[in-house]
Structure formats: C-alpha cells, structure tokens
C-alpha cells in the first residue's frame, strides 16, 4: 500500500471537486472541501495539511507559520498576489499556480472587448433598445486595420492576444521589461510604457499584479493615452487606478474602457464606473470556458500530486 498524504482544498467556488479527488484518490483517499475565508479559518482547519489547494483565501506569513507540515500550495488560477511567496520560500514550501489553462479564453475575451468598444457594439445596442435606429448616434468608428494595439505584458496571454489581433490586421506594440527579446515575434514592436500609451489606439493589460504594477495606470499614465483610445483590463483590478479611470472617462480624456477585473469584487451596482455608456464590465469571467474550467482543476491537482510524490513541480512560482 502506497504512502498517503493529507491534501485539503481550503476554498473553491466550483461545482464539485470530483476531478481533484479522482487524480489524488490513491495518495489521499479523503480530501475535505473547506470554505475558508480568512487567515484564522486556514490555520484552524488546515494545520495538518501537507498539500493545499486554494482559490481566494489569503496565505500570509502567519498562515504558513501555523501550517508546519505543508509542502505544496497550489492556487486555482494564474495570479498569486494573495500569497506571501517569500514566507513560503523560507519554509521550503512550493507555491504553484496554473498559468496556461485559460490563455486562449482570456486573450479571446480581451479581443472581444476590443472589438466591442472599437465598433461601439454596446452603445449601438443601447440606442436600438431605446428606439433609435441610426448609425450616426455612435460615430465615429474607425477601421480596425488602422489601429495600433498596445499590449502591456507579453507573456502567454499578451502574446496570444498580439497574435490574434495581428491576424486581423491591427498593428502591435508592446511593453514588457522581462520578456526575452530574442523570442519576440517580428510583428511586435517593443517600446517603453509611456511611448506605448502615447502611440496606442487600444491599450490592453496582461501583466501580473505585484508591488511594481499596482496602480501602474494611475492618473498620470492614463493622461498619456490618446483622447480617442480605449483601455482593456483582463489581468488584475488594482493595476488600474479606478478613481483615476472614472475621472478620465468623466472628463472625456479617453474614449472608453472595458474591465473584467476590479480592485474589489464583486462590483456593486452603484460603482461609479457603471454609469458610463462607453464602459463595459464583465464579472471576472475572461478565464472561463467549459474546457478551461476542467483543465484548471486537473492541472492544479496534478501539480500537488507531483510535489507530494517527489517529482519536479511544473508550475512553481517561488524559488528556494
């Protein structure tokens, strides 16, 4: 009989954990599905865990200190801004994410938002619902092939969006100080961030949230954008300063914006950004398709299994 491990799911808003249990059953026959929300919840309910799968719950230095048996933490999703990576590394705890489960979905969603804003689909639809059938209500609309798309963050998702947008004739510029310059496609021109904001007709954000990128697009940088430019964010909410964005929209300093992510979620009905007709909001769903949902669960469980079985992790984000 093989060795058994204590695996727990601290929080997860999925419909079931059947996939995780099927992948881990032989090494962890009983995987509890918990509803942790706070540090205290994790400490109280997961102190004996050797592997932990999480979605939203905060994993701080204090939490790690009280989980003495923990060997691996896997987050459902890409972002790890709720995890103290240094605290985990000091304790030799592997922290992994699932960075490639929703690449096509998020880049597709970003492109859909770009098309909807630039073709003014939402505004035209609203006019028709109010009884106005007249394309002149939404002029001007520019030909897509005359536009320049600025991609902030040229990782998996940013690169996928650049490829798709290039495929329909949109010119691509990008900013990513960490990208290997030898692997950049020939149709992408790398430029500094301020230059990208000046040059782009559409700006799409695809960088991680960390101390360097928090409020990256503040009032000053939003002020560098063209007055007829659009802003898209499918990355993390706090990369864009929402107060500054509201000010830019109210003063007509940019032409519109679309966000799939906010600094605080869920978004309340009285959020000030929701009053603008040239603002599109979706409920943090860019990652979602039926296929990506299942892939996320499978890959998270497989990563936990790899570490527990002494194999090299595939998606480790901290180093020690």
Annotation marks residue 189 as catalytic: no
Q: Which is catalytic among the residues 206, 236, 305, 306?
A: 236
Among the listed residues 86, 265, 291, 311, the single catalytic one is 265
Q: In the annotation, is 265 catalytic?
A: yes
- Number of CB atoms found within 10 A of residue 319's CB: 8
Query: How is residue 214 written in tokens?
Result: 């928090």
Active site residue 220: no
Catalytic residue among 284, 295, 298, 302: 284
- Residues annotated as catalytic are 236, 265, 284
């Amino acid at each position: 009989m093989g060795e058994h491990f204590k695996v727990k799911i601290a929080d997860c808003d999925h419909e079931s954990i059947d996939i995780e249990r099927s992948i881990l059953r032989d090494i962890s026959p009983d995987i509890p599905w918990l509803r942790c929300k706070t540090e205290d919840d994790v400490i109280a309910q997961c102190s004996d865990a050797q592997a932990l799968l999480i979605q939203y719950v905060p994993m701080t230095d204090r939490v790690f200190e009280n989980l003495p048996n923990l060997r691996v933490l896997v987050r459902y999703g890409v972002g790890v801004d709720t995890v103290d990576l240094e605290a985990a590394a000091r304790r030799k705890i592997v922290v992994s994410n699932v960075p490639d489960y929703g690449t096509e979905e998020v880049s597709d969603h970003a492109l859909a938002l770009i098309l909807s804003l630039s073709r003014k689909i939402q505004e035209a639809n609203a006019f028709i619902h109010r009884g106005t059938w007249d394309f002149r209500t939404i002029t001007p609309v520019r030909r897509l092939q005359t536009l320049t798309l600025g991609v902030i963050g040229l990782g998996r998702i940013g690169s996928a969006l650049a490829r798709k947008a290039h495929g329909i004739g949109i010119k691509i510029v990008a900013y990513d100080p960490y990208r290997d310059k030898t692997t950049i496609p020939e149709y992408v021109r790398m430029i500094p961030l301020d230059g990208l904001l000046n040059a782009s007709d559409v700006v799409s954000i695809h960088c991680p949230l960390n101390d360097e990128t928090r409020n990256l697009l503040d009032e000053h940088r939003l002020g560098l954008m063209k007055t007829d430019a659009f802003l898209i964010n499918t990355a993390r909410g706090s990369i864009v300063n929402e107060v500054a964005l509201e000010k830019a929209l109210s003063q007509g300093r940019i032409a519109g914006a679309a966000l799939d992510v906010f600094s605080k979620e869920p978004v309340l009905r009285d959020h000030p950004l929701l009053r603008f007709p040239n603002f599109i909001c979706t409920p943090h769903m860019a990652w979602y398709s039926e296929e990506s949902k299942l892939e996320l669960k499978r890959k998270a469980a497989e990563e936990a299994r790899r570490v527990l079985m002494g194999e090299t992790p595939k998606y480790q984000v901290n180093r020690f």
